[in-house]
Chain A
Amino acid sequence: MNNQEIVKWVKLLFLYSMIFLMLREWLMPIMELTDTGHFSLLLAFIVLCLLTNLFNMNAWLSGVIKLLYIIWFMLYVHSQSEQSLLSELTTSVAAVFTGDWQAITNSFKSLLFFILLWMTVYLIHHWLTIRRSILFFFLITVIFLALLDTFTSYDANDSIIRTMIIGMALTGILFAEKTIHDMGMKSSWKNYGLLIVPLVGMLFVSTLFAMSMPKYKASENLPKPLESVVNWANTGMNTTGKIGYVENDDQLGGDFEADDTPILQYMAKNDQYLRIETKSLYTGKGWTRPKGDIFVKTFEYGDEVTTSIKAGPARKRDLLQVEMNKKYDFIMQPYGLEKITKGNAKSNKFYIEMESGKIRPTIKNEKTSLTAYTIQYSSPVYSEKELEESRVAQVERDSGLSKKERKEYLQIPKAMPVRVAQLAQSITEDKKSVYDKANAVVDYFNNGDYKYSRTNVAVPKAGQDYVDQFLFDTKLGYCDNFSTSMVMMMRSIGVPTRWVKGFSEGNRILSDKDDTPTSKSYVVTNNNAHSWVEVYIPNVGWMSFEPTIGFSGFDQVEKESDAGDSVPGNKQKKKQQEQQEAKNKEQQQAQEAKKQQQEKIKEETKKEQKKKEQQAKSSQLSAKTIWIIVGAIAIVVITLFIIFRKKWLPALLIWRYKKQQPSLEKSYEAVLKRLKLIGLTRLDGETLTDFAKRVDAKLQTNDMSQLTTMMEKNLYNPNAEVATWNDFKECWENLINQTRG
């Protein structure tokens, strides 16, 4: 192996490892977002594909190796499944034709995925070796990652940096290679060095330059790129979003699709609303935060935390154990949070954002997410007497709120129509206490005019206010509509109010082992994403209210007299209603559990039945299916024939001409046509000899020149003997074969 060979191999090895890393960037989000396993085995497959391409292995051999790998993978991974691999595949294929997407098995999906990978690697190999340009793939990768980062939960921050580095390296090397190839230079270390060293130098200098430039700090405050597009996509087009917690509430409204993906499970004495954060600045379309810095306080495990919500008495103290199914970089807070006692990660510090009350766990000042933690809390209890004594006028004098906070929590957009305030006034004017006024607003939503729905919910048009639209026009909506409207109504009568986001209590898990009198298990799904209201009651403090109809709300008010035996009493009517609801709910849950059990018992028989049904179905459809399959195969075969016409057409031509033994002119014409197909066209002013030289240089033969000399003699020498088939058949056949590529 000479020096040039070594350079070639080092270069190829480098290029292919870069490609591998780039493909890995593709695979990672796919794995994460689709919950696919066996990442390393898939990577191994990519390596296998790349290696066969790298060593230019025979197409048949490499195909067989890859197929064997795929079969091994499917046997290995899907070995637990009851059906045999073959039958799974056949049912899947049948399912594809009947459009029964649910019935497609995982093994079939894996097979398709492998084929996709195979094709991708082949395509990239083509880009690398033939086109010597990878920019397109690079660009697609960046766009792919950017889109994923923007529209999905995948965090592509690091990934995009890695991709940029890999992409730069690839394009750089390929550019060097292209230059060396085009200039006809030798591919030696020196030449590569000459081209690559300045490239690296330039990269280094520009990196230094970029690093020395001033940068935005605290990316928290900056809107994510494309965020407006995301919002537009989610709301502006009135598309159906998936329900769940999102940080951004700039644009409220629009439909939500139910999503029962579990978010977390918690164990506590009672069900708990889980609070995440509050927001104070209403824009007329949604909620945002005021400009300015975010002030934070830090605390550690076991520290007493002071939140804006007063914790309840010691007798209410309890532990809340949270187990997260989804990673969130903040803590779910029960009302009356006192301290976080432990968590699964060795989080050094927690940050509590003063403005929103959001608590973020951190490790070494980097955001992290805890997957399990325990919180000590004590549900707040409010005295009815104190509540009844609160007056709007006291807000001004109350020292519990700073002037700035008061202003913030009384903010109303200027464009808010007057009728909202008028409505609030009319609802609450006959109530004296702030507490009663708040309850009056809650009750107003229960007057029958308003309906709870997650579908057909309007998005405010330009110039329209979200609250006004809901209160007067649509009267149909979900928690955001109710809670935002209540905040605005309360604010319009001069009561500081804020908007709270989090999860409602979730569903009880009825299982024998976890259930104890002192702690019950609940599961919270995306469906439980919720928003409600906290009203500042003068001299009492923040108190939560549930304006959305159909939700249980809070159980937090005690009459002075029965404070001792801890019988809670909100407004009597509401309490009854709540209890009724709670009962209903429990019954429902119990029924569901029963149902589930019944289902479990019946599972086996059902499965059998299903199988039978499927078999029956497939036999019914068999005739049709066979036709479809035959048709599909025919289409595939025809497509393949068309795609590979370059391969088989020449063979056909040679066979035909050998039989016919046509004239030189006709044969030459055929060659010209074939050459045109592979991109070699004679120009008008080009003589045949010049063209032949060009063709021979490209195909690295001299057949074309030989044939052309004969052809020219034939054309331009009237006295010459006409060449016969036997004279030129050899050159001609070689040429036609050359055009196969």
Chain B
Amino acid sequence: METMTKLQAVIDNIEKVMIGKKHIAELSVVALLAQGHVLLEDVPGVGKTMMVRALAKSVSADFKRIQFTPDLLPSDVIGVSIYNPKEMEFHFRPGPIMGNIVLADEINRTSPKTQAALLEGMEEAAVTVDGVTRQISKPFFVMATQNPIEYEGTYPLPEAQLDRFLLKLKMGYPSKEDEIEVLRRAEGERPINGLQSVITIEELLKLQEEVHQVAVSDLLKTYIVSLAQATRQHPSVYLGASPRASISLMKAAQAYAVLRGRNYVTPDDVQYLAPFVMSHRVILKPETRYENITTEDIIARILIETPVPVRKMDYL
């Protein structure tokens, strides 16, 4: 119960800044709990940065921001060793990735080389410079944003690298009422400045541990696997969800259960998270794309068609 109120406080905090984006806030918290990373895909100006900053402030964590540009180098991300003539040795200057909560803004604007550096760091939670591997302090949470790829001057992320993100979210434009409320709040002082942290890093780490304790019954493991397999067998799909996707889905579901104050995962958790976990890991056949069918449509279809296990013998 205590964990729930803590997490709820985080979400409430974010909601003070982000209006009408509760589900994004929740899902970000889920990713944070599951020790995964989030890819936010949307046009500029809908509050991606604000979202991450609000999250960082709520957790009183070290917040870093990397603005990706075409000329950004890997060392600009992970850090560089600089020779100190006074002490006659190389000193490591950590790059911006060495933070607790990192905003990687417009990740698809930079060269694949630099993207790879970031993604490797994300996966390993460590950076290697000059043969020395340095752990990134926990918690480590990257929230990358990207413009939709049809915009000019971008380097689309390779599918294999997309797999590194636990969730892919889309902000979307606020509704009319919400946008009016946004304007109203923007009149005075920026509310982000007044945010107080509501959870300490230690508490967060404890919560992350708690996620591992959440029970996933065999029924649900079966269900998750059947969903992943359904994406692989679907006639419109060129590349289905990988086993890593199944693992991600399970982890996310565990985190979501914690958020909901449960110590076990239900099919509802899986169904809710599946689109966010899977849609960026599935590649459609070209002819399907021409028909304007999206991966989200396919996954929604699969969720409807795959039977939910409701009896103990179902998974046998």
Query: Which residues from chain A sit less than 8 Å from chain B, CB to CB?
Result: 665, 682-690, 712-713, 715-720
Q: How far is the CA of A716 from the CA of B309 in the complex (A)?
A: 10
On whether A685 and B310 interact (CB within 8 A), knowing A715-B219, A716-B265, A718-B215, the answer reads no
Q: Is the pair A712, B266 in contact by a Cβ cutoff of 8 Å?
A: yes
Query: Which residues from chain B sit less than 8 Å from chain A, CB to CB?
Result: 215, 217-220, 263-268, 271, 303-312
Q: Is the pair B268, A713 in contact by a Cβ cutoff of 8 Å?
A: no
Which of chain A's residues have a CB closer than 8 A to the CB of B219?
A: 715-716
Which of chain A's residues have a CB closer than 8 A to the CB of B307?
A: 684-685
Of all chain A residues, the one with the shortest Cβ separation from B272 is: A687
Q: How far is the CA of A719 from the CA of B307 in the complex (A)?
A: 24
Q: Is the pair A684, B305 in contact by a Cβ cutoff of 8 Å?
A: yes
Of all chain A residues, the one with the shortest Cβ separation from B304 is: A685
Give the distance to chain B from A720, nearest Cβ to Cβ, in Å. 7
A-B contact sample (4 more), CB < 8 A, given A685-B305, A687-B308, A716-B264? A685-B307, A688-B310, A713-B264, A715-B217
On whether A685 and B303 interact (CB within 8 A), knowing A665-B312, A715-B312, A719-B264, the answer reads yes
Q: Is the pair B310, A717 in contact by a Cβ cutoff of 8 Å?
A: no
Contact of A718 among B217, B303, B306, B310 (CB under 8 A): B217
Q: Is the pair A684, B308 in contact by a Cβ cutoff of 8 Å?
A: yes
Which of chain B's residues have a CB closer than 8 A to the CB of A716?
A: 215, 217, 219-220, 264-267
Give the distance to chain A from B272, nearest Cβ to Cβ, in Å. 10
Q: How far is the CA of A293 from the CA of B312 in the complex (A)?
A: 86
Of all chain B residues, the one with the shortest Cβ separation from A690 is: B268
Q: How far is the CA of A101 from the CA of B310 in the complex (A)?
A: 60
- The interface centre, meaning the residue of B263, B303, B310 with most chain A CB atoms within 10 A of its CB, is B310
- The interface centre, meaning the residue of A682, A683, A687 with most chain B CB atoms within 10 A of its CB, is A687
Q: Is the pair A687, B268 in contact by a Cβ cutoff of 8 Å?
A: yes
Of all chain A residues, the one with the shortest Cβ separation from B314 is: A715
Which of chain A's residues have a CB closer than 8 A to the CB of B217?
A: 715-718
A-B pairs with beta carbons under 8 Å apart, 14 shown: A665-B311, A665-B312, A683-B304, A684-B306, A684-B308, A685-B304, A687-B267, A715-B219, A715-B312, A716-B265, A716-B267, A717-B263, A718-B217, A720-B264
Q: Is the pair A719, B215 in contact by a Cβ cutoff of 8 Å?
A: yes
Which of chain B's residues have a CB closer than 8 A to the CB of A682?
A: 310
Q: How far is the CA of A250 from the CA of B305 in the complex (A)?
A: 65
Q: How far is the CA of A467 from the CA of B204 in the complex (A)?
A: 109
Which of chain A's residues have a CB closer than 8 A to the CB of B309?
A: 715
Of all chain B residues, the one with the shortest Cβ separation from A711 is: B310
Of all chain B residues, the one with the shortest Cβ separation from A686 is: B308
Which of chain A's residues have a CB closer than 8 A to the CB of B265?
A: 716
Give the distance to chain B from A688, nearest Cβ to Cβ, in Å. 6
Q: How far is the CA of A686 from the CA of B271 in the complex (A)?
A: 9
Q: Is the pair A687, B271 in contact by a Cβ cutoff of 8 Å?
A: yes
Q: Is the pair A717, B215 in contact by a Cβ cutoff of 8 Å?
A: yes
Give the distance to chain A from B309, nearest Cβ to Cβ, in Å. 8
Chain A binding surface SS class: loop
Q: How far is the CA of A718 from the CA of B217 in the complex (A)?
A: 6
Q: How far is the CA of A717 from the CA of B218 in the complex (A)?
A: 10
Which of chain B's residues have a CB closer than 8 A to the CB of A720?
A: 264
Of all chain A residues, the one with the shortest Cβ separation from B308 is: A687
Of all chain A residues, the one with the shortest Cβ separation from B265 is: A716
Of all chain B residues, the one with the shortest Cβ separation from A669 is: B311
Q: Is the pair A719, B263 in contact by a Cβ cutoff of 8 Å?
A: yes
Give the distance to chain A from B264, nearest Cβ to Cβ, in Å. 3
Q: How far is the CA of A683 from the CA of B304 in the complex (A)?
A: 8
Which of chain B's residues have a CB closer than 8 A to the CB of A665?
A: 311-312
Which of chain A's residues have a CB closer than 8 A to the CB of B308?
A: 684-688
Give the distance to chain B from A550, nearest Cβ to Cβ, in Å. 82
Which of chain A's residues have a CB closer than 8 A to the CB of B311?
A: 665, 715
Q: How far is the CA of A168 from the CA of B25 in the complex (A)?
A: 54
Of all chain A residues, the one with the shortest Cβ separation from B217 is: A716
Q: How far is the CA of A688 from the CA of B268 in the complex (A)?
A: 8
Which of chain B's residues have a CB closer than 8 A to the CB of A684?
A: 304-308
Q: Is the pair B264, A717 in contact by a Cβ cutoff of 8 Å?
A: yes
Which of chain B's residues have a CB closer than 8 A to the CB of A718?
A: 215, 217-218, 264
Of all chain B residues, the one with the shortest Cβ separation from A688 is: B310
Q: How far is the CA of A684 from the CA of B302 in the complex (A)?
A: 11
Give the distance to chain B from A664, nearest Cβ to Cβ, in Å. 11
Which of chain A's residues have a CB closer than 8 A to the CB of B218?
A: 718
- The interface centre, meaning the residue of A686, A713, A720 with most chain B CB atoms within 10 A of its CB, is A686
The list of the 9 closest CB pairs from A to B, nearest first, reads A717-B264, A685-B304, A687-B267, A684-B307, A716-B217, A687-B268, A689-B268, A687-B308, A716-B264
Q: How far is the CA of A289 from the CA of B308 in the complex (A)?
A: 76
Which of chain B's residues have a CB closer than 8 A to the CB of A715?
A: 217, 219, 309-312
Q: How far is the CA of A689 from the CA of B267 in the complex (A)?
A: 9
Which of chain A's residues have a CB closer than 8 A to the CB of B306?
A: 684-685
Q: How far is the CA of A717 from the CA of B267 in the complex (A)?
A: 11
Q: How far is the CA of A688 from the CA of B215 in the complex (A)?
A: 18
Which of chain A's residues have a CB closer than 8 A to the CB of B266?
A: 687, 689, 712, 716
Give the distance to chain B from A434, nearest Cβ to Cβ, in Å. 90
Q: How far is the CA of A689 from the CA of B257 in the complex (A)?
A: 14
Q: How far is the CA of A686 from the CA of B223 in the complex (A)?
A: 12
Q: How far is the CA of A435 from the CA of B217 in the complex (A)?
A: 112
Of all chain B residues, the one with the shortest Cβ separation from A719 is: B215
Q: How far is the CA of A685 from the CA of B266 in the complex (A)?
A: 13
Which of chain B's residues have a CB closer than 8 A to the CB of A690?
A: 268
Q: How far is the CA of A687 from the CA of B305 in the complex (A)?
A: 12
Of all chain B residues, the one with the shortest Cβ separation from A668 is: B310
Q: How far is the CA of A713 from the CA of B268 in the complex (A)?
A: 12
Which of chain A's residues have a CB closer than 8 A to the CB of B268?
A: 687, 689-690
Which of chain B's residues have a CB closer than 8 A to the CB of A688?
A: 267, 308, 310
Give the distance to chain A from B259, nearest Cβ to Cβ, in Å. 16
Which of chain B's residues have a CB closer than 8 A to the CB of A683?
A: 304
Give the distance to chain A from B231, nearest Cβ to Cβ, in Å. 14
- The interface centre, meaning the residue of B220, B305, B308, B309 with most chain A CB atoms within 10 A of its CB, is B308
Give the distance to chain B from A186, nearest Cβ to Cβ, in Å. 22
Which of chain A's residues have a CB closer than 8 A to the CB of B304?
A: 683-685
Q: How far is the CA of A689 from the CA of B271 in the complex (A)?
A: 11
Q: How far is the CA of A440 from the CA of B210 in the complex (A)?
A: 121
Q: How far is the CA of A679 from the CA of B266 in the complex (A)?
A: 25
Q: How far is the CA of A684 from the CA of B310 in the complex (A)?
A: 10
- The interface centre, meaning the residue of B219, B264, B304, B311 with most chain A CB atoms within 10 A of its CB, is B264
Which of chain B's residues have a CB closer than 8 A to the CB of A687?
A: 266-268, 271, 308
Of all chain B residues, the one with the shortest Cβ separation from A712 is: B266
Q: How far is the CA of A685 from the CA of B301 in the complex (A)?
A: 9
Give the distance to chain A from B29, nearest Cβ to Cβ, in Å. 21
Which of chain B's residues have a CB closer than 8 A to the CB of A712?
A: 266
Give the distance to chain B from A362, nearest Cβ to Cβ, in Å. 72
Which of chain B's residues have a CB closer than 8 A to the CB of A685?
A: 303-308
Q: How far is the CA of A686 from the CA of B215 in the complex (A)?
A: 21
Of all chain B residues, the one with the shortest Cβ separation from A683 is: B304
Q: How far is the CA of A685 from the CA of B265 in the complex (A)?
A: 17
Q: How far is the CA of A687 from the CA of B310 in the complex (A)?
A: 8
Give the distance to chain A from B100, nearest Cβ to Cβ, in Å. 32
Give the distance to chain A from B48, nearest Cβ to Cβ, in Å. 31
Give the distance to chain A from B8, nearest Cβ to Cβ, in Å. 20
Q: How far is the CA of A683 from the CA of B308 in the complex (A)?
A: 9
- The interface centre, meaning the residue of B215, B217, B267 with most chain A CB atoms within 10 A of its CB, is B267
Which of chain A's residues have a CB closer than 8 A to the CB of B215?
A: 716-719
